[in-house]
Each structure stands twice: as structure tokens, then as C-alpha cells.
Structure 1
């Protein structure tokens, strides 16, 4: 086997076996369930972009998983990458038509709760949530980002007040090694001491958790209090109780203690002037600890 053959062989890294698509379908696709299809591709640019392009033709519950993404995006089109089969990179298509569109802003937070719950159950790793869309794990005594969530409107009704669908993208670093981290502040489940880094049961747990939380939220007409989403998110949100600076467009910023997540999913900052300022996820460029450059 030549070196180039080894690089192309899907079993070249025995610590990172491929996902078993057939087994995942058997476990997750069921009559009356949310998940309607599940596809695993070796590589793509962005699972979010791929699903968004087919949002009108696909039913709710389509799942697309990539072993590798080469044009993955975060909020505000920030780019990131990871070695093939080193994480869980997937998107799902949701169509919460019966939920008032003004409550769809809870979907990134709902996904964060679902992912944290699923990972805790199977990997035994405490996953904290950094508002609005980051997943944090503890490596040594340091809090590091191990994943992120990107939610985008999609479909022919995406530009209107209602209709269309939502593509929810999730990226989780599973077996990323220290020398592979894109930045020193990144982490992975393996570095956090996960009980397992087998991606098949991890993905099953996360998708089952997402199905439960989404179902409860939808049954409550998107009410974050009635579905217990608001209190559960607050309980797992590492941002609350800390002094932060929200950087806004136009070189503006708001600094204060993060004291709550309100009914619209906005982070409420208590400023030194005694004001409580809510900040929406769509309004900020960065959320940083207060006092950092």
C-alpha cells in the first residue's frame, strides 16, 4: 500500500472507524417518529447547505451526516474544519409550521439542550452551553469549545413571516487530539475524558434527545416555559452569572452580568447603570468575557 493509498483508505485511522448508516437507520427511523431519512456521506462542503438546497422537496426529519466537511460554517459564516471521522457533523431539517414563527429563535437553544443531554447520558461528559450556540467541555481545569450549532431558515417560505423550514446544523469534536485542535481554546470529548468516543451511539443519543425536546416544544406551541426548555437551558448555561461584553454592529458593545435568558431566548445583561439590556443572537458579532481585548 502506498502512502497515498493509506490516506484514501477509510480504515487508515483505526481509532476513527466510519459510521454505520444501516445500523443508524434501523435505530432511528420508525413509524410515527420525527426522523424520516438518514444519509451518511463521506465528504461534502456543508451539510447545512446541502439540506437547505433540498428543503422544499424533503419531508421534515431528514438527517444528513458527513464524515468530513470542507466548507463548514458557523455563525456569521465563520469557517472551521476537522479531520475526517473525528467528530459528528450533521444537519437536520425541521418544519415547525404549527409553532408561531417568533418562537423559532428557541431552536438553537433547544438543540444545545438536546445535544448536552444526549452526550451526558452516553459519554458521561458534562457539557455546558455558552449562549447562544456553543457547546463547552472541561479539559483539565479549562473550559473549551467542543461544538457548535448553526440554525438557518430554508425553503421557499424562508423569506416570509412564516412557512419554509429550518435547517439545524451540529458539529461536535469527538476524537480530536491536542495537536489537531484548530485553536488552543478548542476541545473534544476525548480530551474531556469521555467514557466512549464511539460515534454511532453518540449520534443515536443526540438525535433521540433532539426528537424528545423538539416534540415537547412543538406540543407546547413553542412555549419555552411550558415545555421546560427555558429553565433547563438556564440550568446548563455557563454564560449566566458571568460578566460579559456583547459586541454589536457599528463598533457598539454592551457590558454587564448575564443574569437571565428571557422568553424570547435573548440574553439579559445587567449593566453598571442599573439597566437590564436584552441581546438577541442575531444582534451580536461576539460575546466575550468582560475585560478581554
Structure 2
């Protein structure tokens, strides 16, 4: 298969505990615990595949039982996995989260293997000769992200950036002046990158553009979302839904937006399709 999108970043197992009751610190409640393939880069790849794209994964997966099982599952999903770096001595990474009726309660991302292998995950790039969209997530180290931002191979690339979490948003600072990067963030992450809280998504998107970013898409839960681009600003409010899950919603939004643009959608239509995809995702009961 020939890829039409590269997804660079975390590929791991998600362990998600969900309960339909309101939770606080110290809560001990009944619910469901599931394990499934996850990680920001992988979530984007799986969603892009669902929208008809053919993603290739650039990440680190261990040569342990968990890694073999994960790669087999991804191959069955139609993802290109022979671009993965398989480590002989590092374990497959894992993410664990607890969600209640009131949203995400806590999460821990153990992406230490990805961080330790560094630029080894980029080795397939030269052989691929790729010129399509490249989704890049903030689980990579600050050093590697800074090198990618300055790497001539990425100077004209259609980079699509996801911070992975608010705690890693600052890792994407080197891309604020990149000439062709598109940043996907929520309002909190935008505020962290701008070092100041933002009143709403349109204002945050405009502020990111003013900092030199090529394009920015900012979401704010059920409130207005915005896309700022060289031609102007588009803002839309997502439709109201009953939220049953949150982990992976931003990745679904990003993948749907990329797929819409690859199919020729204009900025307004692409934003609308991405918001609808996220609404369907967060209101779904499936694991």
C-alpha cells in the first residue's frame, strides 16, 4: 500500500476506565475497563482510515507480546505498520485514563519508549519520498520536535500538529513560525502556548496566527470552534450532544478535518465536517 498521510508520534495501548456517575478525587465506583489501540498518532491514523485514507505509522513499538499483538491489530485495520520502529529492549508504551459522567478525571501517559528512541522513528522518511499531510503529535520529546521544526525535509511539508495534552502544549512552540504548519488545539492548550488565558476560540486562533503560525484550529468543547488561515477566519458552534466519552475526541476532529481537505473541502466545510465527526464520536457508546 502507498500512504496518503503519515502519522508520527504515540502508538500504544489505551486502558480506559469509564463510569456513568459523577466522579471526584478518591471516587471508587462501578464501571467498565477496556483496552484498545490508542495514542494520539494512532487515533488520528485510525480515524483517517475510517474516512478513506491510507495512513502509515512512524513510532516505536516494542518487540514484546503487547507490541506483537498491537501491530497485528493495526494491520487488520488496514494501517501501514512496516514503517514502525520495533525496539528489541524497550516495552510497548501504554496510556491509562479514568472518565466519569463529568469528563476526564485523570490520565497517565507512559510514552517513555517513544521518547527514548528519538529520531530513529523518522528513518523511513527518505525512502517514502512523501509529500502529503503529516500528522505530528506532542508526545515526541522537545528536542526532537525542535529538530523537526528546523529540518529541511519538513520546511514545505503539510504539517498537522496535535499537542497530545495541555501539559505538552509548550513542546510545539518551535512550530509557531513554521511556514506550512497547522495547529489543532483546545482553548486551554492555546492559552498555554500564548502564555495567557484566551476568552474564546476565535480570539485564540487569531492570536496564534498573529504569533506567526500558518493556520490554527481551536476548539472549546460545546462552545464556538474556529479556524484561522491566510484567507481569514471561520467559526462554528458544534451541535449539542450527550457526551459519553472524551478520550480521542480531538484526534477524531483532526483526522476528519484533514480528510475533508484532502477531498477538496473549503475551510468552512472542513470545519463543519470535523465538528460533526467529533460530535458523533463523543456521543457514541462504543469502545
More helix by share: 2
TM norm. shorter chain > 0.5: no
Q: State the structure with more CA Rg.
A: 1
Instruction: Give TM class, smaller chain.
Output: under 0.3
TM-score, normalised to structure 2's length? 0.26
